[in-house]
Structure 1
Amino acid sequence: MAKKNDEPQTAVETTVDVDGLLSELTKKNDEYVFKLRRILKEHQYTDAQERKVLADILPEMVEAQRAGKPATQIFGPVTVKADSIINAPKPVKQAPYWLTGLDLSLFFASIFGLMYGIMAFIKPKNMTAGSGIASIIIMAGMAGFIFSYYNIWSRRDKKKRAKTWLIMLGGVAAIIVASLASSLLAVIKSPLTSPTVWPVYAVVAVVCYGAHWLLKRQYNLPGIMAA
């Protein structure tokens, strides 16, 4: 039974003159394209999807045949080429920056919660004024969004990236601002800004990591070093 093509059944706009390029094909290449189209039809490709495939391969095919190279030489056997088209991996939709930033912030919050929890359990009297829940939120948010932006930046084309020194300067500035905000909050005496007992930090670590795990599973989000 033919494998049903589950790509969106929408028309494909292209600037490639498919019909014009088809008329330029040699006999061998024309036969190659005929067999390829037949296989695509067997897998329930629509006319629009078929033309999209042709628009992708015909320019290279025609250019190669002008140099005396047939389609089998550049694409391989028609069955292999068809299989690579039909079973091509679907493009991964990139998650929005705010979502990846939130996810990594939750991850860092769980790490900070674990660290503070261990410290509060071992030496509770040594907990500093800047180790409250509010400070964890600020520092984790800063780290999460910095790493999220770095991952996005590192996947861009090198010609379209911001300068490395600008990224480093921005990261240092964000750390300074977050540290200052955390220090200022320490002056305020409240349950959120003051050090607390280790079970509270443990709850923060478990809840934040659980939320991080659920987000990654639900939206297939990249990891901390996704670059």
Structure 2
Amino acid sequence: MSENKPNARPRNADVHQNRNTVATNERTAFDNLGLTKRNADYMFRFNKALESTKLSPDKKAAAVQAMVNELVEGQKSGKTAKNLYGDVASRVKYVVEGPQREAEGKVFGGPDYWPNMVYNALTFFMIFTLLFGVMYLFSPKLMKTSSPVGITAILVSALVAGFLLPIMPRLFDPKIKHRFNGWIRFLLTLVGFAVWMVLFYFAQLLPPAINPVLMPWPSIIVGLLSIAAMIWIRRRYNIRGGFFG
């Protein structure tokens, strides 16, 4: 009688077992970070997908840690990884490639342009009215010995500034696809400032009936009202940066 040979152990069985053990440990590690099961599973899958990219280890670790911190905080208000980041593949692409460049033609316009335009115009209007109001209040002789700036000239300057300032940073934003090269955009910036100065100069040449000079206290009051309007616009349209940032 031939003896029955014991069943041979499948090849690579130990390798598969070790891989499963490592995967289980990695999955458990995210569970121990205070994440919900759903968010921990998302981060586990995201981390595995990120490992196959060419991103440096430091950047991978930083991206994972930042997301974990954001998720732990977001869970308090019921947010999930899917809500915050979309699917895993999209998030990996975002982390590796960065934000997608905006479509051409976004330098001017967009839903946030006009609120920013009004906010910037009010900012300049507030600065000049308060500046001249306080200056003439403490030095009344300046209204006679200098060439005080009229309210129309201030308004024109503020409107042009409000129109130009939201555009200037976008002209050099690398996330926007531009039609012109850097030198042309730089020249456009210089032209914009030149137009600003020219319009202010001619507005200041208008007769006093059209370009009256406000007395100190009315100028200060107008400046304070501008601050109130700025605060309202900032809260209403969630404007970032600038004054009251």
TM-score normalised by length of structure 1:
0.57
Identical positions, percent: 15
- The aligned runs of 1:169-180 (5 Å cut-off) are 169-180=187-198
* C-alpha distance 119-213 of structure 1, shift in aligned 2 (>3 A): same
Residue number in structure 2 paired with 1:200:
218
Among 57, 65, 71, which residue is 1:86 paired with? 71
* Cα distance in 2 for residues equivalent to 1:180 and 1:82: 50
Residue 142 of structure 1: SS of its match in structure 2? helix
Structure number with greater Rg is 2
Contact 2:130–2:219, Cα closer than 8 Å, also in 1: yes
Residue 195 of structure 1: SS of its match in structure 2? coil
Cα distance, 1:100 vs structure 2: 2.3
Among 78, 81, 99, which residue is 2:115 paired with? 99
Contact 1:113–1:204, Cα closer than 8 Å, also in 2: yes
Cα distance, 1:188 vs structure 2: 4.5
* C-alpha distance 188-162 of structure 1, shift in aligned 2 (>3 A): same
* C-alpha distance 82-213 of structure 1, shift in aligned 2 (>3 A): closer
* C-alpha distance 198-166 of structure 1, shift in aligned 2 (>3 A): farther
Please list the CA deviations of residues 16-59 of structure 1 after superposition, one character each: whole Å capped at 9, or x if unmatched.
Answer: xxxxxxxxx9324421454367579963748xx965x5664332
* Cα distance in 1 for residues equivalent to 2:123 and 2:67: 42
Residue 26 of structure 1: SS of its match in structure 2? helix
Residue number in structure 1 paired with 2:20:
27
* Cα distance in 2 for residues equivalent to 1:106 and 1:189: 24
Residue number in structure 2 paired with 1:137:
155
* C-alpha distance 63-96 of structure 1, shift in aligned 2 (>3 A): closer
Question: Given the alignment of the two structures, is residue 58 of structure 1 paired with residue 77 of structure 2, yes or no?
Answer: no
* Cα distance in 2 for residues equivalent to 1:96 and 1:57: 35
* Cα distance in 1 for residues equivalent to 2:205 and 2:119: 29
1:105 partner letter: A
Contact 1:117–1:197, Cα closer than 8 Å, also in 2: yes
* Cα distance in 2 for residues equivalent to 1:85 and 1:133: 48
Residue number in structure 2 paired with 1:214:
232
* Cα distance in 2 for residues equivalent to 1:104 and 1:213: 12
Cα distance, 1:103 vs structure 2: 1.6
2:20 partner letter: K
Contact 2:127–2:223, Cα closer than 8 Å, also in 1: yes
* C-alpha distance 30-140 of structure 1, shift in aligned 2 (>3 A): same
Cα distance, 1:111 vs structure 2: 0.9
TM-score normalised by length of structure 2:
0.54
Deviates more, 1:204-213 or 1:166-175: 166-175
Contact 1:134–1:182, Cα closer than 8 Å, also in 2: no
Q: Number of matched residues? A: 186
Contact 1:109–1:137, Cα closer than 8 Å, also in 2: yes
Among 127, 133, 143, which residue is 1:124 paired with? 143
Contact 2:35–2:71, Cα closer than 8 Å, also in 1: no
- The aligned runs of 1:179-190 (5 Å cut-off) are 179-186=197-204, 188-189=206-207
Residue number in structure 2 paired with 1:223:
242
1:109 partner letter: F
Among 124, 127, 135, which residue is 1:108 paired with? 124
Contact 1:117–1:201, Cα closer than 8 Å, also in 2: yes
* Cα distance in 2 for residues equivalent to 1:41 and 1:84: 10
Q: Which blocks of at least 5 consecutive residues in structure 2 are unaligned?
A: 1-17, 75-83, 86-109
When the two chains are superposed, the root-mean-square deviation of aligned CA atoms in Å is 4.5
Contact 2:170–2:176, Cα closer than 8 Å, also in 1: no
